[in-house]
Structure 1
């Protein structure tokens, strides 16, 4: 462990500008991805959803199947592009984790970080800026994608028979604040693995694995983060299609099911977001502890 002599603190604005210049190619790629995803989501909200809805109306109004005509391609086109867009938006936290792990690991592996600590910034300020600036960009960009995705999903809800339900695993997260929270978690996870491994490729892979582990744990806990309702007997078979059935069984030959109605959407979103932000805070604390172990006691 090496104790560094603290340099004269550089202004935060200077550190931010230098960081933006350093990662300018990444910013261009991020902006390009945001633009492409936004265009696709707007198409899904507008002409693609309208065409699929019209095709389903034609299909549902058919009385003579020998003469029934409807635009099947419009239905399939909407379904395919919706899935592509949803998976692309859902991948943001994992891309963030990979980038953060690689970026932190590269700076420590190449010695760029130590050079900055001795010439322009203290280690704590270096880490704070490298977490805060990407966090702002990731949170803002992901929130925009989530908003546009929710608009695209709402345009097909109740109009397109094959539209995803609110509880579909990918749709649920890409429609609400859980995704920006998971993206911030991925950023902290990647930064922590970079600080611990101090190598580019291992940090990139470990950041992905850690984010994947958090995602898996959230999926297992999600149905239990808000109390379910229980329906028994004949009422169990009359649940609305928008209900998320999480468990079924029989007790004394009477069927029962635990489920979340559509009104539980926001309670589940908010409790999951709070959990992810708590994990993000712990990972961020781990980053600063790892930095302290790496550099020794330094001034902020």
Structure 2
């Protein structure tokens, strides 16, 4: 009989502990830690959104007015550095939330309970295996979605408040900013939760399950960043050899355009007139201009929604695999 074996001779108690109450009681420290983390990050993002962005914008205006003209350079450098640091820390923390959820789900929510027999005890006394898994996925999913969605919304508001006012503000297509400004971060967090469930049921050990869940989120995030530019039709802009590349946004492809309209690789010579000899290089390639295929800022939401839907499908398939694995193993254990 395996470690997931049920005790069929043990009757279920007449007074069943409600699944949600049992879950909150068992993982109360994690709940408090999550609420505290969301509160701290929310306060930091609100500070960035209002007072710190305004102060940094004033400091940058001072820099442009007083330092660019060669006169005495007096501006509030500390505020600019503070804005940059707080932005970096909060963005990194929000980027890491899905990994934190995956680590907790794999190690504590599922792996440790299966390793120590807490889950098996719940199955014999209060909860069926399916209800146990459904409760342990649904309740954290609500809390994770609500908390992460709040932080993503605040991050988007904060970034928008500084866009065009802070000279060193991150562009919308910066990888970390792109995801923390939209719902893909929420989808990554739900993937971490589902991945933790599957890893815990598959390995039934705390540290291996945590490692597998973290690896799953990392793979999903990397692959999403790679396929995201191809989830929506991009814009192609052609410019002359003298002007160089044109257009600004999330890059997809770039190179040279020939007289026949074909796209070829750029030898890296640069615009004509900047580096001597480029005219001959381009003439030998029959190049007539540069092309740049990219996504402008207006594509932010189509890309975000398409990527979010894709990641949510992965999360759903992962959760389904966890239910199927649990059903197979508990059925085998009962038959044994």
TM-score band, normalised by shorter chain: over 0.9
What is the aligned partner in structure 2 of residue 68 from structure 1?
Answer: 73
What is the aligned partner in structure 1 of residue 88 from structure 2?
Answer: 83
TM-score in terms of structure 1 length: 0.93
Structure 2 contact 245–291 (Cα < 8 Å) conserved: no
Larger Rg: 2
What is the aligned partner in structure 1 of residue 98 from structure 2?
Answer: 93
Greater length-normalized contact order (CA 8 Å, ≥ 6 residues apart): 1
Distance 1:4 1:288, change over 3 A: farther
Structure 1 contact 3–296 (Cα < 8 Å) conserved: no
What is the aligned partner in structure 1 of residue 210 from structure 2?
Answer: 204
Task: Kindly indicate whether residue 53 of structure 2 is the aligned counterpart of residue 49 of structure 1.
Answer: yes
Structure 1 contact 230–259 (Cα < 8 Å) conserved: yes
Distance 1:77 1:264, change over 3 A: same
2 CA distance for matches of 1:98 and 1:294? 23
* C-alpha RMSD over aligned residues: 2.0
The counterpart of 1:261, out of the listed 290, 296, 302, is: 296
Distance 1:128 1:236, change over 3 A: farther
Distance 1:56 1:14, change over 3 A: same
The Cα of 1:246 is off from its aligned counterpart by 2.5
Judging by fraction of residues, say which structure has more helix: 1
TM-score in terms of structure 2 length: 0.84
What is the aligned partner in structure 1 of residue 271 from structure 2?
Answer: none
What is the aligned partner in structure 2 of residue 288 from structure 1?
Answer: 323
2 CA distance for matches of 1:155 and 1:10? 57
> In structure 2, the residue corresponding to 1:226 is in which secondary structure?
coil
Q: Which runs of 5 or more residues in structure 2 are unaligned?
A: 259-286
Distance 1:231 1:261, change over 3 A: same
The Cα of 1:11 is off from its aligned counterpart by 9.2
2 CA distance for matches of 1:11 and 1:210? 39
What is the aligned partner in structure 1 of residue 264 from structure 2?
Answer: none
What is the aligned partner in structure 2 of residue 176 from structure 1?
Answer: 182
> In structure 1, the residue corresponding to 2:237 is in which secondary structure?
strand
> How many positions carry a matched residue from both structures?
296
> In structure 2, the residue corresponding to 1:91 is in which secondary structure?
helix
